[in-house]
Chain A
Amino acid sequence: MMATRRARGVGALVAMAALVAAIAALTAGGAGAGGQTAFALPRAQTLYISGNQWSPNVDLNPAKNWDYVTGLVGFAYETPFRYDPLSDKFIPWLASAGKWTSKTTYTMTVRSGVKWSDGQTMTPQDVKYSFDILKLATHPQHALWQDTGLKSTKVQGRNVVFTFGGTPGIQQFDFYRFNVAIVPQHVFQKYSKTEITTGNLSDPKKIVGTGPYAYESGVGASSETVVWKKRDGWWGTSALGLSVGPTYIVDIKNGTNAAALANLLRGNIDLFNNFAPKSAIRGQFKTYFDRAPYHLGANTTWLFPNTTKKPLDDKQFRRALANSINMGQIISKAYQGLVAKASPTGLLPIWDKWVDPKVVKQLGFSYSPGKAKAMLAAAGYKDTDGDGYVENKDGSAIDLKIVCPNGWSDWMTAIQVIADSAKAVGIKVTASFPEYSTLVDDRGHARYDLLLANDRQYSNTPWTYYQYIYQLPILDNQTTVNYERYTSPSAWSAVQALDKIPSSNTRAYQAVMSKLQRSFLQDLPAIPLWYNGMWSMVNTKYWTGWPSAQNGRFTPTSWRNYWQMTAIDMLTHLRPAKQS
């Protein structure tokens, strides 16, 4: 009897211990994240977004524009200007105006009547300070001071005057006009230089911004969501009559694609900026375009050949390869028609007006296996050993490897198509899928034959695209540009010239653009493939007024660096679908 009772006691004890452990763990988790919202959020006033945040929600540094929590710049911190990529216009934001007052000075007028969320007034000195901290060499945006010729900043009344030495890099400077977050000097001057450039500034209480939202809760190492709450007294309302629709915005950290998709289809997400299959576009779920390719093209996916290796150092070979690629098959097989073929120039659709049709007609390429074979033969690549594949001009075998990161399923399918279509014209290409970090390492040190990359997003200028392709000099490790290690001093000097021409000087600008397109298509240092989509599925059940091709042409995305384009306009146009 004794034994029975004891055994029962142990069982109960074990179960109790388990429950206590669970509850204790739960509480500890709560203490870690530190919430303020003491109630569940009202669905009708809450906008759920997902697709931007991959890393833990711990980074509150507006300088770290690849890592900070979603909306930090846009909701809290704002920029002097915003840029509308779909109509190529700058929108005065914290600056009420700005213009070149001489060949080497730019004068920015700081908007008056703007208050920080702690009640202090935003001053031109804050704007100057925000640009000045970029002087620190380890600041992620330090290139402003290094590459544009900017020499000094000065406050003059309501203005901040930027003075340049020599001809300014106007295109680059324009980029910073809508990408430098204006921060409060009275808060930031208490941080050390290291904290400002590389720290996480992880105390949410110190987010003092000018924007339409204030931080509510969620920052923490294991947090899955960050909540922002609409703020009273945003300057945009009094100055521009704007008002953001959602009272709360909840950004959901990305988990697995399948889980995220299930959440979307259950109606738990209103704006979904990850890839979703075409079958998900139905009923209440809409996209920017109502027909293929459904999404805006956000960036060009390029095929980079290693131009330091035979036979990829030969432009004739690269051109033949470009003609061999069956883009139609990539679009249907890897993307179900959700992307569009890229212009042979590689320029995004937002830069269509700069594309020179004559050059494209004369030098462009498209899928044509017959032409590819003829080009190979004309360039002297023959199948001398009869194995069905062409050999190098010296008779050595060509055996190229094309790589993309393991697990990137759409790209994996795409490079398989590229390999197959190259083989069909007699070029031996094999697909392989290394881990992402291995690929990055190999890419930087030219230990590859062919690879895909799509680093450059929307910007105010095709300069960012040409710099990506042509930047010189070539370093031991090419971490972010010119992966193909292509050396063309004339093209690079044209890129530098482009930087110095204001886009308002259309004739001079077009001349350089045409020159670059001609040079690009003649040499084909990289092969543009398709426009990767600005994946955006919206749920119309709770919110209406979403951007679309017919109505409100704004960037429909929660991705970083798009809020200071026109994603904020999306918020000011959203309205609850039904009043509750």
Chain B
Amino acid sequence: MTRYLARKVVIYLLTFFVAVTIDWAIPRFMPGDPIEGLLSRMKAQPGATEELTGYYSHAFGFDVPLWQQYLNFWAALLHGDLGRSIANFPTPVSELIMGALPYTLALLIPAILLSFWAGNKTGALAARRKVLDNTVLPASYVLTATPQMWLGIVLAWLFASTWAIFPVSGAYGLDVQPEWSLEFATSFLHHWILPFSALFLVAFGGWAIGMRNMIIYELESDYSNYLTALGAPSKLVRKYAYRNALLPQITGLALALGAVVAGAIVVEIVFSYPGLGTLTLSAIQNRDYFLIQGIFLFLITGVLIANFVIDLVYVVIDPRTRVGMQGGS
């Protein structure tokens, strides 16, 4: 158990180190100079350019060699300092991320968990009912092959533009402000449904197909046949099949997390939802090194932690892994 965990931790730390290094490097190798962009937006008078360039270069630590910038970056990071946004100087990057994070989580967590739960349930049912199999399966194939962004646009067009049931964009109405009130909560949910649906439906399709195929496979396996031959009720057989079929799905969840996060980013942009996705877009457009870095760092850490948790869950739910680690046979 300890060896298993230790190995996992080392792998995750290594991945983290490499990912963070790439994260640091990429914005710096993008074409375009962020300080020039800032001066251009300021419409700084020519006489002031030199003074301002010097000031901002120093403020952002660009006036030292690259290797030193890299070391400074790690030093700051280990102190929890993600730096200051360039485009919105001097707002701390962490403040911008913390502002956007709740909106992204409010979309992501329900979308991931509910689609996993509902998709697997539906897939398992579809494996046993002809009618469901003939309806849910093709629909699921279409859904899972649909890019979240495109589905988002279609939903917005149908439900927000054509029928005007839901709002087109934003996370809450223009006449309310974020606070504890019924008006805000209602408005928030009203705005949340479409982007949530775009994420939920695509993921749902994938889980349903996976589960349906796994159940069919499990029901035809030796242990199912043996149980049936023993006269076990079919309900019990199906229960065992479901639990076995769930294992690869959980591995799939770990693998899919990155894709879901990427999907959330584009869906947010479609709905102008003020989460990390929209923030990422504006950060890239403004060559805001520190903000881009900070957001990706957050995503990297989030995905790694989620994967680690799934690794741990695996130990709990799969007796074989547990037994294997304890050296039993």
Contact = CB atoms under 8 A, between A and B. Distances in A.
A32 B282 CA distance: 20
A26 B106 contact: yes
Contact of B271 (A35, A138, A259, A471): A259
Interface stretch (A87-95, A142-150, A153-161, A541-549): A142-150
A295 B47 CA distance: 34
Contact of A435 (B32, B168, B173): B32
B89 to A, nearest CB: 6
Interface in A439-459: 440-441, 444, 455
Contact of A479 (B44, B51, B160): B44
A28 B171 CA distance: 14
A223 B177 CA distance: 8
Given A18-B110, A143-B45, A435-B32, A30 B184 contact: yes
A259 B52 CA distance: 36
B188 interface: yes
A221 interface: yes
A471 B46 CA distance: 8
Contact of A48 (B50, B59, B174): B174
Interface residues of B, number: 86
A263 to B, nearest CB: 6
B42 A66 contact: yes
B-side interface mostly: helix
Contacts of B269: 256
Given A3-B239, A146-B45, A250 B175 contact: yes
A24 B109 CA distance: 11
Given A7-B239, A438-B32, A259 B45 contact: no
A221 B100 contact: yes
Interface in A194-208: 198-200, 202
Interface string A202-217: 1000000000000001
Given A437-B33, A479-B46, A268 B96 contact: no
A497 B125 CA distance: 84
Nearest to A46: B175
Contacts of B49: 475, 477, 479-480
B109 A18 contact: yes
B254 interface: no
Contacts of A441: 31-33, 36-37
Contacts of B37: 436-437, 440-441
Interface in A24-62: 24-30, 32-41, 43, 46, 48, 54-56, 58-59
Contacts of A552: none
B183 interface: yes
Interface in B161-197: 161, 164, 168-181, 183-185, 188, 192
Given A66-B43, A138-B52, A146-B48, A25 B106 contact: yes
A282 interface: no
A262 B168 contact: yes
A367 B181 CA distance: 61
Centre residue among B33, B100, B278 by max chain A CB count within 10 A: B33
Contacts of B239: 3-4, 7
A37 B168 CA distance: 24
B113 interface: yes
A72 to B, nearest CB: 15
Interface in B275-289: 275, 278-279, 282, 285-287
Nearest to B50: A475
Contact count band on A: 35 or more
A266 interface: yes
Contact of B179 (A30, A56, A58): A30
Nearest to A250: B174
Contacts of B285: 436-437
Interface string A248-286: 001010011001101100101000000000000000000
A225 B174 contact: yes
B177 A217 contact: yes
B52 to A, nearest CB: 6
Contact of B178 (A30, A146, A436): A30
Interface stretch (A9-17, A98-106, A322-330, A396-404): A9-17
A496 B59 CA distance: 34
Contacts of B192: 22
A268 B164 CA distance: 13
Given A15-B117, A198-B55, A256-B169, A32 B88 contact: no
Interface in B76-103: 87-91, 95-96, 98-103
B55 A40 contact: no
A225 B109 CA distance: 26
Given A25-B106, A138-B51, A222-B103, A477 B121 contact: no
B42 A225 contact: no
A222 B100 contact: yes
A19 interface: yes
Contacts of B96: 56, 58, 221-222
29 contacts: A3-B236, A3-B239, A11-B121, A21-B106, A37-B176, A37-B179, A39-B183, A40-B176, A48-B174, A55-B88, A138-B48, A138-B51, A143-B48, A198-B59, A200-B88, A221-B96, A223-B99, A224-B170, A224-B172, A256-B270, A262-B161, A435-B32, A436-B285, A441-B31, A441-B32, A441-B33, A478-B46, A479-B40, A479-B46
Closest CB pairs A-B (n = 6): A255-B272, A221-B99, A437-B32, A35-B177, A259-B169, A222-B99
Given A26-B185, A198-B55, A441-B31, 9 more contacts: A67-B41, A143-B45, A222-B274, A224-B170, A250-B175, A260-B169, A262-B161, A441-B37, A480-B46
